[in-house]
Structure formats: structure tokens, C-alpha cells
Amino acid sequence: MRYAAKLKDVLKEYNKTFSYIDPGDIDLSREQAEYLQGKSLVTVRRYTDVGFSVIPTGLGITYFDDHRDKMMRFWIPTTISIVSLIKSFMPEIISLMRLLVQISQ
């Protein structure tokens, strides 16, 4: 199941209403709602055995920002490390290129 897509639907609808969301409005099945609730991304409010509504939790509201921030915390230091590594080898590479140019002349 692509729960991120369903969470986006929930958040999009929540931004319109700022209240509990009828799952019929966003084509959300009970199983999908229970899955999102299990990941603590939404709260499911049950009316009857078949009726329910959902509302995003704080974790659900910030899920995509948190995910993006986590990726940035990984990629920025990695990129800096790679650039530093290349930068540390640049004098040797330039010296080698000069030597090759002198040899070829």
C-alpha cells in the first residue's frame, strides 16, 4: 500500500476543512485508515461498525517535512565529504597533469 499517497490525500482534505475527514471524500478504505493509524499518522474516530472518520496527528502533519529534513541531514554532510575528498586530491592531480604535459612536449 502506498500510505504516503493516502496521507497526502488526508492532508490535502484536512487543509480545506481543518476537521475530521469523511473517508469517502478521499477514497480511503478502513484498512488504509487503520494502517495510517498504526503508524501514528492519523487518528481514526469510529461512529459505528462501518462508519468512521480520520484526522491527521501532529506526526502526520509534519511527516513530509520530517522526511525531507532527514534526507537533507544525510545528503549535505555526504556531499561536503565528497567535495572535501576531491579537493584534497586536486594538487596531486594538477601536478600529474603538468608532468604529463611536459612529457608529451
Please, what's the b/e burial string for 28-46 (b: 16 or more CB within 10 A of its CB; e: otherwise)?
beeebbeebbeeebbebee
* Neighbour tally for 56: CB within 10 Å: 20
- The pLDDT value recorded for residue 26 is 92
Of 26, 25, 24, 31, nearest in space to 1 by CA: 31
- The pLDDT value recorded for residue 33 is 93
- The pLDDT value recorded for residue 62 is 92
CATH of the domain spanning 3-61, picked from 3.30.1380, 1.10.10, 1.10.1740, 3.90.550: 1.10.10
Q: Where are the domains of the chain?
A: 3-61, 68-105
pLDDT average per 10 residues of sequence, the chain (105 residues): 86 91 91 93 86 92 88 81 85 88 87
- The pLDDT value recorded for residue 81 is 85
- The pLDDT value recorded for residue 3 is 85
Task: Give the side-chain half-sphere CA count within 13 A for 53.
Answer: 11
- The pLDDT value recorded for residue 52 is 92
- The pLDDT value recorded for residue 39 is 93
